Amino acid sequence: MIALLRSSVFALVFYVGSVPIVVTAMLVGFIAPAAVITVARIWAGWFALTTRWLLGIRWRIVGTVPNHAALVALKHQSNYETIMILWLFKRPAVVLKAELLGIPAWGAAARAHGVIPVDRAGAATALRAMLKAGNAAKSADRPVLIFPEGTRTAVGTAPELRAGLAGLYRALKLPLVPIACDSGRCWPKGFVKHAGVVTFVVGEAIPAGLDRPVIEARVHTAINALNPA
């Protein structure tokens, strides 16, 4: 009952408080695109604040997140990390589904933020757009963030990695930094969330230029370091 009450208060406070921030991001996307990153970080800070004090979900980082040009592969267990990465990283370029850019106004703000669209249908034009955005992030010395499993996974599961990780690694020629997280324990599917600590473990950087089986095996092991079978 306590978790349900806390989750209800969080939902009310966070989403109501998010409205002016998100609207501002959409407007800024049209007027001053470069400022969208700052607005998005303010929103993520609001999320970090409300989850900490209303839900009792704290976070800790083991290691140092890269805030320079690197390819970063994160474990994906919940929606928690999809927002927290905007707080933990200063200027991330996040890989996301291309269809999300079709959302009115939000899509424009996302483009202004510098997201990297990926089309699972794999059309040649979509691939060129993804690589163009990835190289733009690299040139701007921004970390490129990808969820290599492609979708949210349940605690205790470790599916194979999608091909997009290897493709970006080969194309961008950047070191690859794997990050494990265990957010699924505190942020399961459904409405009710649970107090606790979400841990992010930054793995050892993998140099550019290695073969696909090697990097996939190393990333798979590293991002599942906190994922009990």
- How many CA atoms within 13 Å lie on the side-chain side of 66? 25
pLDDT, tens only, 40-63 = 999 999 999 999 999 999 999 999
pLDDT number for residue 121: 65
Q: Is the pLDDT of residue 134 over 90?
A: yes
- How many CA atoms within 13 Å lie on the side-chain side of 38? 6
The arithmetic mean of pLDDT across residues 110-116, rounded, is 89
DSSP state of 139: H
pLDDT number for residue 143: 98
Q: What's the predicted TM-score (pTM) here?
A: 0.94
Please count the helices (runs of H) and the strands (runs of E) in the chain.
Answer: 7, 7
Angle subtended at Cα 86 by Cα 83 and Cα 90, rounded to the nearest 5 degrees: 170
The arithmetic mean of pLDDT across residues 116-144, rounded, is 84
Residue type, 85: I
Instruction: Say what percent of the chain tops pLDDT 70.
Output: 96
- Dmax over Cα atoms in the chain, in whole Å? 52
Q: Is the pLDDT of residue 122 over 70?
A: no
Q: Could you tell me the domains of the chain?
A: 2-223 (3.40.1130)
Q: Is the pLDDT of residue 120 over 70?
A: no
pLDDT, tens only, 196-229 = 999 999 999 999 999 999 999 999 999 999 998 6
Altogether, the residues listed in the chain come to a count of 229
pLDDT number for residue 123: 63
pLDDT number for residue 146: 96
**What rounded mean pLDDT belongs to the chain?**
92
